[in-house]
Structure 1
Amino acid sequence: MESKDLFQIGEVARMFHLSVSSLRHYEAMGLLVPEVTDPETGYRYYSTRQFEPLNTIRYLRALDMPLNEIADFLQNRDLDKMEEKLQQQKEIVIKREQELKRIERKIGNRLNQLKDARNSVLDVIALTTARACRLVWMEDNLTIKEFVDMETPIRKLEQKQKEALIFLGKVGVGIAAEQLLKGQFQQYNGIFLLLDEEDQYDGTVIHLQETPCVSVRFRGSHKEAPAQYEKLMNYIQEHNLKVAGFSREITMIDYGLTNDTEKFVTEISIPVKVS
Structure 2
Amino acid sequence: MKKFFSIGEVSKLFNVKISALRYYDEIGLLKPEYKDEQTNYRYYSTQQFERLDTIKYLRALGLPINKLLDFYNSQNTNTLIHILKSQQTEIDRKKRELERIEKKISRRIIQIEDAVHTPLDHISKIKLPALRVAYLEHEYILGHDIEHSLAELRTRLNVNEDIFIGKIGLSISAAHVKANQFDKYSSIFMILEDESENTLSETIFPSREYLQIRFKGSHPEAEPYYKKLLAYMKEHHYEVAADSIEITLIDYGITNNLDNYVTEILLPIKSIS
- TM-score grouping bracket, smaller chain normalisation: over 0.9
Deviations 1:141-185, CA, capped at 9 Å, x for gaps: 002337xx2211111121133323x63411111111111111110
Structure 2 counterpart of 1:139, from 120, 132, 137: 137
Output the amino acid matched with 2:252.
Y
Output the amino acid matched with 1:151.
E
Aligned ranges 1:168-207 → 2 under 5 Å: 168-207=165-204
Give the direction of change, closer, same or farther, for the CA distance of 1:84–1:52 in structure 2 (3 Å limit): same
Structure 2, unaligned runs of 5 or more: none
After superposing on structure 2, the runs of 4+ consecutive aligned residues of structure 1 that deviate more than 6 Å are none
2:47 maps to: 49
1:123 maps to: 121
Structure 1 counterpart of 2:210, from 187, 209, 213: 213
Q: Work out the CA distance in 2 between the residues paired with 1:249 and 1:268.
A: 5
2:271 maps to: 274
Q: Work out the CA distance in 1 between the residues paired with 2:196 and 2:120.
A: 30
Q: Work out the CA distance in 1 between the residues paired with 2:27 and 2:2.
A: 27
2:2 maps to: 4
Is the partner of 1:39 in helix, strand or coil? coil
CA contact (8 A) 2:161 2:197 kept: no
CA contact (8 A) 2:168 2:189 kept: yes
Q: Work out the CA distance in 2 between the residues paired with 1:199 and 1:152.
A: 25
Give the TM-score, by structure 1 length.
Answer: 0.93
Identity between Structure 1 and Structure 2 (%): 40
Deviations 1:36-73, CA, capped at 9 Å, x for gaps: 22232222111123212211111111110111111111
Output the amino acid matched with 2:211.
V
2:18 maps to: 20
2:58 maps to: 60
Output the amino acid matched with 2:166.
G
Is the partner of 1:214 in helix, strand or coil? strand
Deviations 1:79-127, CA, capped at 9 Å, x for gaps: 1001100110000001110110000001010011011111110011222
Structure 1 counterpart of 2:227, from 227, 230, 238: 230
CA contact (8 A) 2:241 2:268 kept: yes
Structure 1 counterpart of 2:256, from 255, 259, 262: 259
Give the TM-score, by structure 2 length.
Answer: 0.94
Is the partner of 1:167 in helix, strand or coil? coil
Deviations 1:204-238, CA, capped at 9 Å, x for gaps: 22223321111110011111112221222222222
Q: Work out the CA distance in 1 between the residues paired with 2:25 and 2:140.
A: 57
Q: Work out the CA distance in 2 between the residues paired with 1:100 and 1:253.
A: 25
Q: Work out the CA distance in 1 between the residues paired with 2:271 and 2:198.
A: 34
CA contact (8 A) 1:145 1:222 kept: no
Output the amino acid matched with 1:189.
S
CA contact (8 A) 1:136 1:204 kept: yes
CA contact (8 A) 1:102 1:198 kept: no
Q: Work out the CA distance in 1 between the residues paired with 2:196 and 2:238.
A: 34
Q: Work out the CA distance in 2 between the residues paired with 1:203 and 1:233.
A: 36
1:92 maps to: 90
Structure 1, unaligned runs of 5 or more: none
CA contact (8 A) 1:175 1:190 kept: yes
Structure 2 counterpart of 1:157, from 150, 153, 176: 153
Output the amino acid matched with 1:154.
L
Aligned residue pairs: how many? Answer: 270
Q: Work out the CA distance in 2 between the residues paired with 1:143 and 1:18.
A: 59
> What is the root-mean-square deviation of aligned Cα atoms in Å?
1.6
CA contact (8 A) 2:134 2:199 kept: no
